[in-house]
Structure 1
Amino acid sequence: MTLDLFNLTLVGVSLLVLIAVAAVGVSRRAGLPALLIYIALGLIVGEAGFGLRFDDAELTQVLGFGLLAIVLTEGGLTTRWTVIKPVLGVALALSTLGVVISVGVTALLTYWVLGVDVRTALLLGTVVSSTDAAAVFSVMRRLPLRARPKAILEAESGLNDAPVVIVVSLLVSDSWATTNGWLAAAEAVFQLVAGGILGFLIAWFGKAAIRRTTIPAAGLYPIAVVFIALLSFGVAGLAGLSSFAAVYVAALKLGNANLPHARSTRGFAESLAWLAQIALFVLLGLLASPARLTDALLPALVVGSVLLLVARPLSIVIASIGFGLPWQEKAFLSWAGLRGAVPIVLATIPISAGISEPQKIFDIVFVLVVIFTLVQAPVLPRLVKILGLGRSPEP
């Protein structure tokens, strides 16, 4: 790369990031997650706009998982254990049993209505059944919502990525049709639990190391904490366990430990998470091809409607049995299950795996995320008032 090309690239990236930063205020006034503006920036820069062609789904998948790890790290570091502890049981139920119900109902109705093959229906149902941490964190933390439903949504979005990644990886493998369902479920639970335990242990040792080590500069403490959490992501992946569960639990443990410079650590993690979201959604917008998206509109409306109006409410009602949630909270949780980067990144796995019609799955998921974010997010503040779940905003 020549120096002139480097400077030109730096100018372009800097302008893109500055536009993305300025767009946050616009998105908040409109009541929408900033992810929609970031995706639009990617589409504008891409082949239909400025002509930058990018079609490497495998690279998008790898980078997407890394950027999601940063978002989950920030989510764990900024979540208070005293808030999440009372709702951990219901969040785990929604992240496991709720995901299974959502996948089954969405896949069944998608197979029946759209007439796709069983594998495609299962992939679509699985990919869209995971709520998105980036979308949930960005919307819920500025919504005057009571602590319990907010904590449930944040914990669910931090935990439910793990089982969905496992199921998608199984469905794109050559042995998906012969795999025993119960054994697959047991393996998914094992990877989820073992990944969480591994993340906890790495965070525990990391916390002890930070307390016993004299770090010469205050600015190095946030870097150490963030990368201890990211270390758990990589170690869990190498061990064949759930990287997403490991990094979220590790960050949750570190965020609630009495470590030096905790406030600056949270600020540093928040900055990294914003940068990761910008990079992630712009990258996903680059990967999409507007010329194909019109064909995916009707299937996306069908799958999204099934998910929002049938599968998600049913999964909430069944998975929350025994936890004493009032119907108002169940109704809000049903509507507030926002989709975002996670489903789109997961939709790149079939492309790199080389199964039939993978681009169709990606296009449907991409259109679904954009449309139903536009439908769901603006309604949330009014829904909070209607259901009586509001609280006075903190100063």
Structure 2
Amino acid sequence: MLSNEIILLIAFFIAVGILLYNPSKYYGIPAALIFIGVGLFLGNDSASSFAFHNPTQTDLISQLALVVIIFVGGLHTNIKDIKRVFAEGLLLSNIGVFVTTFSLGFFVSLVTPLSIIEGLLLGAIVSSTDAAAVFGVLESKNMKMKYNSDKVLEFESATNDPMALILTLIFVSIIKSAGVEVVYLDYLTFFVQQVFVGCGLSFFLYLIIKYILEKIHFVEEGLIPIFLLCALIVFLKVNDFLGGNALIGAYILGVMLNTVDYHYKDNTLHFFNSISWLAQSIMFLLLGLQINPVELLEIIPLAILPALFLFLIARPLGVFTSYLPMRQPFKKQIFISWSGLKGATPIVFALIPLLEDLQNAELIFYIVSFIVFLSLLIHPFSMEWVAKKTKVLL
């Protein structure tokens, strides 16, 4: 359990992060960079009585926060926008993640002490883009683009976490069972179970909630968001019991609920916006507190090549491969290749090897953390420039 001291620390740092983020939003600085930075540089001092290092609690809270954030993102997603970019987004969030994972994984095994399977694990962890960071940059810069490029980025970033998480869990399982014959059919079954249970359960719950919202008139506007929040918690517990993927299920549930008209809908969305910000703030802060600044600096010589390979080769390779079945302007593909912002999600996924006590788990964690920080420092400030150079900006 979190101590009173830690709760006070988190509340104080969230307040500091809000005060720093409010003016910085104008410059397109992602919330992840602000809040993780606050936790990293103000709270994570081994000599401080406020130091907090608890990967187990951080992983539990962060996984829950991710589900809430993605659910709220779905609530704000217009299904008409999804239909226009569905094929592109689906290919990027699956084929793109797969190609990025394997290309980066093999490269990492060549330039670091990590084995091929450990490199693939690292590749899977950093293969997805961050929805909160992408939404934040596009909104703060008010970037409207040709060829639905902005909608593609938003849909991809909201849907590629499940594939990255599934690959991460598969590679963790393979490493843990080293020396035992690998039954790849079991991993294929696991993938299918994750996707179909998550999607099926979310659709079933949507039908129930839709019926209730249409048939029952809630006399108090504050009851509806509480009801939906409780429904989301029920979804998480049942989904966990059945072995589905909570991330993809939460997003689909949010998107489908956005199609339902009910009383006090605007107020409900405002409520979930606040919940999403609280979830982001706590998650970013706790993740920052898990990172030791000294170790992060020491990892730079080892992590710089994997980071550059990801940004300049692995991510573009994943994007170009995804677009092979489709005819889209090359300049659009270049822009999307560059705009693969990383955020808190890879750091959350990097906690999984730590919790499983895998060999080299800490090395993977700090390489991932460096890649995330470098992405947050480079991509948000260069996206608009790249959009102008590729002429996809309206």
The alignment's TM-score, normalised by the length of structure 1, stands at: 0.91
Read off the aligned partner of 2:304 and give its amino acid letter.
Answer: L
Read off the aligned partner of 1:316 and give its amino acid letter.
Answer: V
CA separation in 2, counterparts of 1:19 and 1:265?
27
CA separation in 1, counterparts of 2:284 and 2:202?
27
Question: Cα deviation per residue 1:189-209 (whole Å; 9 max; x = unaligned)?
Answer: 442233122212211211111
Structure 1's 186 and 153: CA in aligned 2 closer, same or farther, altered over 3 A?
farther
1:31 corresponds, among 22, 28, 33, to 28
CA apart distance, 1:216 = 2.4
Structure 1's 132 and 156: CA in aligned 2 closer, same or farther, altered over 3 A?
same
Give the share of equivalent positions with the same residue, in percent: 28
Structure 1's 54 and 17: CA in aligned 2 closer, same or farther, altered over 3 A?
closer
Residue range with higher mean Cα deviation, 73-82 or 297-306: 297-306
Question: Cα deviation per residue 1:333-381 (whole Å; 9 max; x = unaligned)?
Answer: 1111111111000000001101102111111111110112101110012
Residue range with higher mean Cα deviation, 9-18 or 352-361: 9-18
1:125 corresponds, among 123, 126, 148, to 123
CA apart distance, 1:13 = 4.2
Secondary structure in structure 2 of the residue aligned to 1:317: helix
2:17 corresponds, among 10, 17, 20, to 20
Contact 2:10-2:282 within 8 A present in 1 as well: no
2:110 corresponds, among 109, 112, 115, to 112
CA separation in 1, counterparts of 2:7 and 2:292?
25
2:313 is matched with which residue? Answer: 310
Structure 1's 154 and 185: CA in aligned 2 closer, same or farther, altered over 3 A?
farther
1:255 is matched with which residue? Answer: 258
1:377 is matched with which residue? Answer: 380
2:271 is matched with which residue? Answer: 268
1:324 is matched with which residue? Answer: 327
CA separation in 1, counterparts of 2:59 and 2:50?
19
Secondary structure in structure 2 of the residue aligned to 1:141: helix
Question: Cα deviation per residue 1:275-304 (whole Å; 9 max; x = unaligned)?
Answer: 111111110011111121122112221111
Contact 2:105-2:117 within 8 A present in 1 as well: no
CA separation in 2, counterparts of 1:10 and 1:355?
30
1:78 is matched with which residue? Answer: 76
Contact 2:307-2:371 within 8 A present in 1 as well: yes
Counterparts of residues 1-395 of structure 1 (less than 5 Å): 12-43=9-40, 44-47=42-45, 50-142=48-140, 143-146=142-145, 148-173=148-173, 174-175=176-177, 178-181=181-184, 184-185=187-188, 187-391=190-394
Secondary structure in structure 1 of the residue aligned to 2:262: coil
Structure 1's 234 and 159: CA in aligned 2 closer, same or farther, altered over 3 A?
farther
Contact 1:111-1:121 within 8 A present in 2 as well: yes
Read off the aligned partner of 2:38 and give its amino acid letter.
Answer: L
Question: Cα deviation per residue 1:298-329 (whole Å; 9 max; x = unaligned)?
Answer: 22211111111111101111112233221122
CA separation in 2, counterparts of 1:55 and 1:164?
25
The number of equivalent residue pairs is 387
Residue range with higher mean Cα deviation, 341-350 or 17-26: 17-26
Read off the aligned partner of 1:199 and give its amino acid letter.
Answer: S
Residue range with higher mean Cα deviation, 150-159 or 48-57: 48-57
Q: CA RMSD in A?
A: 2.2
Read off the aligned partner of 1:101 and give its amino acid letter.
Answer: V
Contact 2:6-2:52 within 8 A present in 1 as well: no
Contact 1:36-1:370 within 8 A present in 2 as well: yes
Read off the aligned partner of 1:169 and give its amino acid letter.
Answer: L
Read off the aligned partner of 2:287 and give its amino acid letter.
Answer: L
CA separation in 2, counterparts of 1:54 and 1:18?
18
Question: Cα deviation per residue 1:155-191 (whole Å; 9 max; x = unaligned)?
Answer: 2122211122122122222336733446524532442
CA separation in 2, counterparts of 1:220 and 1:49?
45
CA apart distance, 1:388 = 2.2
Contact 1:35-1:135 within 8 A present in 2 as well: yes
Structure 1's 9 and 353: CA in aligned 2 closer, same or farther, altered over 3 A?
closer
Moved over 6 A (4+): none
Secondary structure in structure 1 of the residue aligned to 2:299: helix
CA apart distance, 1:130 = 1.2
CA apart distance, 1:82 = 0.7
Read off the aligned partner of 1:136 and give its amino acid letter.
Answer: V
Secondary structure in structure 2 of the residue aligned to 1:348: helix
CA separation in 1, counterparts of 2:47 and 2:75?
38
The alignment's TM-score, normalised by the length of structure 2, stands at: 0.92
Structure 1's 32 and 95: CA in aligned 2 closer, same or farther, altered over 3 A?
same
CA separation in 1, counterparts of 2:253 and 2:11?
32
CA apart distance, 1:49 = 7.6
Structure 1 unpaired stretches of 5+:
none
Structure 2 unpaired stretches of 5+:
none
Structure 1's 178 and 373: CA in aligned 2 closer, same or farther, altered over 3 A?
farther
Contact 2:54-2:290 within 8 A present in 1 as well: yes
